[in-house]
Structure 1
Amino acid sequence: MKHTPHYESYLKILEEELIPAMGCTEPIAVALAAAKATEALGATPEACRVEVSGNIIKNVKAVTVPNTGGMKGLEAAVAAGIVGGRPDLGLEVLSKVTKEEIAEMAQFLQTCPMQVLPSGGDQVFYILVTVTADGHTADCEVVDFHTNITRIRKDGKILFQNQAGASAQTAQTDRSVLSVKEILEFADTLDIQDVAPVLEQQIAYNTAISQEGLKGGWGAEMGRTLLELHGDHLPTRLRAAAAAGSDARMNGCELPVVIVSGSGNQGMTASLPVIEYAKAIGADHEALLRALAVSDLITIHQKTGIGRLSAFCGATSAGCGAACGIAYLDGAKAEVIAKTIVNTLGICSGMVCDGAKSSCAAKIAAAVEAGLDGYEMAKVDLGFVNGEGIIGADVEQTIVNVGRMARQGMRHTDEEILNIMLGL
């Protein structure tokens, strides 16, 4: 079977994006930086300084950090990384915290002075954790995305530096090769064994946390409530599956998820409705994997122009991706899938991100519903057309338009959301 021109790049993009993470990825990235800085220091810190961009503050403020005994916020994430972090585990840095270490975290917060400051400059994603003890200082800097450690120093001496420096997006495979047309061709022609390891992990991890969320007791219980309110209908099950995963994850569940575009919520939104739909129609495993590749890559394609963090709710992109994965399972033509994207973005591109917290589950449910509505419209050749608001001449121009709106147009919105959250 002939592969698409950028076949290897598409595989690498999936491998780079679909990685396991425990807990909301922003506090976990803070915990990872704290763990790396403490490892470099070689001692228990006597004081800490944390400099982060506004979007990090926004996405850490109200979310429960896993394996902390229910603590929330930047200080909790730093303490968790210092006391119980395993720096070699990446975004699963808090996965092996002991009960004794959880107790130590609370004590550490009481005894260690910790200064939290907004970072200077205009970087959307920035974390710098500095720790001191016995006259020595160490720091760890993370820039642009969650695992991109750009520098680790001790006493001013550089122990590690990413050669790409502060612009280390270049460390990842070029996302500009993505297009809706080639994504669909890639899914049609891919060798399943090339994607099976990452996609099967996505199925296993994200299904497990969704099932945990449906048991109830997590946050606002959006997933369970949807089923109770609307019954066991397929569209409701698709929304509830994704929302329930977020219910659990935003409220301290210790199960890992496989993320997409740096976000566990987006990883669950892009995958769980597709998994649930495949189960309902009796699709075989190979068809499910191809559909997940479509959903994940279309989500990533949309997020490339938006960036990792913004005032634009990432669930919108992932709900759109999920609808495309469902359409692919139905055997929809490329024209229908393209129109599904345009319709979905026309419906709910106004949903803002006001940080990670319990209401993310409700936004996920809304995004999946918008995707399903967009698909139903596309199936009967109905949709929004060029010149109507942000809708462009075709699907690619529409994606570019939304990226421009989110990355540039919503920057002031992002600032005001943060000011509101901080009571300024």
Structure 2
Amino acid sequence: MLDKNTCERYTALLQEELVPALGCTEPIAIAFAAARAREVLGCMPQRLVVQCSGNIIKNVKGVIVPTTGNMKGIDTSAILGALAGDSEKKLEVLSGVTPKDIEKTKQLVAEKICQVELIRDVSNLYIIVWAIAGEHEALVEVQDSHTHITRIEKDHEVLYEDKPASAHTNSASGPEMDLESIFQFALQGDLTDLIPVLDRQIQCNTRIAEEGMKGTYGCGVGASIKENYGDSVRTMARAMPAAGSDARMGGCVLPVVINSGSGNQGMTVSLPVITYAKELGVSQETLYRALVLSNLTAIYIKSGIGKLSAFCGAVGAGCAAGAAITWLRGGDYDAVCRTIINTLANTSGIVCDGAKASCAAKIASAVDAALFAGDLALAGKAFGDGEGLVAEDADATVRNIMRLGRDGMKETDIEILHMMIGQ
């Protein structure tokens, strides 16, 4: 039975998670922290020190910082954020950057005013920015969520302190989520308060995918899929999110509505569903409900893994999109669950080796696997309990994947980082 509390929690969770971000969220998180540090300091810093977790380093190393054209790196993100960022805009912190700001950033990067340090034994999403000018300094600490500030200091005096996001108890994620309640809410819940959120996801993510389809970003994965395989609904369901990733990883300045802190995941959960809804000619309400099913399923899968890990987030997002497409194609709750099982049995070994152009190809592979999983599911077929990580039902299978991504891949994550930074 769908209760009022569940509806309120899921509505609040989607409103919190489905927010716009300009560019890859890890460079943006650094820019956000640096902008806030400059604001606390009260002037442009003469020096910056950025301390961050390995996963932040991994996800910033290979991606273009938005608005810069072709600049990459933690130092670029921090300097530009401090120079021209507006922390009030959160994940759109760099939306006011001008060409003059870019030129100044290039100069300051060349002058090496920013020092970067790996900090160990912290959460996977962890950033500290020190902004220093003369004898004064400011510190901003971000943990667990890309804009969740847990500490602010000025001249060693604590001005603000908060618990890490994982310590708050009002989240709808984790054990308070399950596939049955997600399915019931998606099909029966009052979506009135979510319509603006979902409309923004449809508009923003479609727009950047269309930009990416021009094939001028990265390897042009999305455009290449269409060129080589045609424009069927199945092909375009893979091509559109891949194209959006092409553009986003390539520094496109258009915003993306994210999921689980990730723009790539936000595009993967939405664009295949939008593509199928258009092809099938369903009502706008049906599209909204399919997007709710996809978004919440992705959040559920990711909730037990964490925002950043060695587990590729496109897997869970593609799985969620496939589940929603199965429902759009006439599948019931059991078919949706079979789709989730079949997808996770197939693609759960894809690793995250940072944000970069090849994310587009991983997205296409994840969506393709999910669509095939849906074909099997609609034929009444699913992999069985005990076959690898498949457990007695879909929720138990998801819990195994959570454990794999959270615990099993810790050492994998460390080795990936070592290889990426040449250790």
Fold shared, TM-score > 0.5 on shorter chain: yes
| Cα distance in structure 2, aligned partners of 1:370 and 1:351 | 12
Partner amino acid for 1:124?
Answer: N
- Offset of residue 166 of structure 1: 7.1
Tell me the residue number matched to 1:26. 26
Tell me the residue number matched to 2:196. 197
Give CA-to-partner distance per residue, 1:223-250, whole Å, 9 cap, x none.
0000001111111110001100000000
**Contact residue 45 and residue 131 of structure 2 kept, 8 A:** yes
| Cα distance in structure 2, aligned partners of 1:280 and 1:177 | 34
**Contact residue 260 and residue 307 of structure 2 kept, 8 A:** yes
Tell me the residue number matched to 1:212. 211
Counterparts of 1:25-174 in structure 2, within 5 Å, are 25-162=25-162, 164-165=163-164, 167-170=166-169, 172-174=171-173
Partner amino acid for 2:157?
Answer: K
| Cα distance in structure 2, aligned partners of 1:280 and 1:91 | 32
Q: Which runs of 5+ in 2 are unaligned?
A: none
Partner amino acid for 1:359?
Answer: S
CA separation of 1:5/1:138 partners in 2, compared to 1, >3 Å: closer, same or farther? closer
Aligned to 2:37, what secondary structure does the other structure show?
helix
| Cα distance in structure 1, aligned partners of 2:170 and 2:395 | 25
Q: Which stretch of the first structure deviates more once superposed, 120-129 or 58-67?
A: 120-129
**Contact residue 258 and residue 264 of structure 1 kept, 8 A:** yes
| Cα distance in structure 2, aligned partners of 1:96 and 1:72 | 18
Give CA-to-partner distance per residue, 1:386-410, whole Å, 9 cap, x none.
0001001111110000110111010
Give CA-to-partner distance per residue, 1:364-394, whole Å, 9 cap, x none.
0000001001000011111210000100111
Q: Which stretch of the first structure deviates more once superposed, 256-265 or 169-178?
A: 169-178
> Aligned pair count?
423
Counterparts of 1:267-282 in structure 2, within 5 Å, are 267-282=266-281
**Contact residue 294 and residue 328 of structure 1 kept, 8 A:** no
Give CA-to-partner distance per residue, 1:97-144, whole Å, 9 cap, x none.
111111111112223522111113242111000011021010100011
| Cα distance in structure 1, aligned partners of 2:338 and 2:170 | 33
Give CA-to-partner distance per residue, 1:7-43, whole Å, 9 cap, x none.
1001011011101100000010000000000110111
| Cα distance in structure 2, aligned partners of 1:93 and 1:371 | 34
**Contact residue 53 and residue 124 of structure 1 kept, 8 A:** yes
- Offset of residue 290 of structure 1: 0.3
Tell me the residue number matched to 1:182. 181
Tell me the residue number matched to 1:224. 223
| Cα distance in structure 2, aligned partners of 1:64 and 1:169 | 33
Tell me the residue number matched to 1:322. 321
Q: Which runs of 5+ in 1 are unaligned?
A: none
Tell me the residue number matched to 1:245. 244
| Cα distance in structure 2, aligned partners of 1:20 and 1:357 | 19
Partner amino acid for 2:338?
Answer: K
Partner amino acid for 1:99?
Answer: P
2:8 matched to 1:8?
yes
TM-score (norm 1): 0.97
Partner amino acid for 1:253?
Answer: C
RMSD between aligned alpha carbons?
1.4
- Offset of residue 46 of structure 1: 1.0
Tell me the residue number matched to 1:362. 361
| Cα distance in structure 1, aligned partners of 2:345 and 2:317 | 14
- Offset of residue 4 of structure 1: 5.7
Partner amino acid for 1:357?
Answer: K
Aligned to 2:363, what secondary structure does the other structure show?
helix
| Cα distance in structure 1, aligned partners of 2:117 and 2:60 | 14
**Contact residue 310 and residue 409 of structure 2 kept, 8 A:** yes
Aligned to 2:194, what secondary structure does the other structure show?
helix
**Contact residue 2 and residue 181 of structure 2 kept, 8 A:** no
CA separation of 1:421/1:252 partners in 2, compared to 1, >3 Å: closer, same or farther? same
**Contact residue 54 and residue 120 of structure 2 kept, 8 A:** no
| Cα distance in structure 1, aligned partners of 2:70 and 2:141 | 26
Counterparts of 1:370-409 in structure 2, within 5 Å, are 370-409=369-408
**Contact residue 173 and residue 303 of structure 2 kept, 8 A:** no
| Cα distance in structure 1, aligned partners of 2:245 and 2:414 | 25
Q: Which stretch of the first structure deviates more once superposed, 1-10 or 310-319?
A: 1-10
Partner amino acid for 2:143?
Answer: V
| Cα distance in structure 2, aligned partners of 1:321 and 1:136 | 48
| Cα distance in structure 1, aligned partners of 2:222 and 2:166 | 39
| Cα distance in structure 1, aligned partners of 2:168 and 2:252 | 30
Aligned to 1:306, what secondary structure does the other structure show?
coil
Give CA-to-partner distance per residue, 1:308-366, whole Å, 9 cap, x none.
11100000000000011112222311000000000000010000000000000000000
| Cα distance in structure 2, aligned partners of 1:337 and 1:73 | 40
Partner amino acid for 2:403?
Answer: R
Partner amino acid for 2:237?
Answer: L
Partner amino acid for 1:398?
Answer: T
Aligned to 2:140, what secondary structure does the other structure show?
strand
**Contact residue 45 and residue 112 of structure 1 kept, 8 A:** no
| Cα distance in structure 1, aligned partners of 2:174 and 2:17 | 11
| Cα distance in structure 2, aligned partners of 1:310 and 1:4 | 33
**Contact residue 326 and residue 378 of structure 2 kept, 8 A:** no
Aligned to 2:385, what secondary structure does the other structure show?
coil
| Cα distance in structure 1, aligned partners of 2:167 and 2:49 | 23
**Contact residue 127 and residue 142 of structure 1 kept, 8 A:** yes
CA separation of 1:45/1:168 partners in 2, compared to 1, >3 Å: closer, same or farther? farther
Give CA-to-partner distance per residue, 1:189-240, whole Å, 9 cap, x none.
1223121011111001000000000011000100000000111111111000
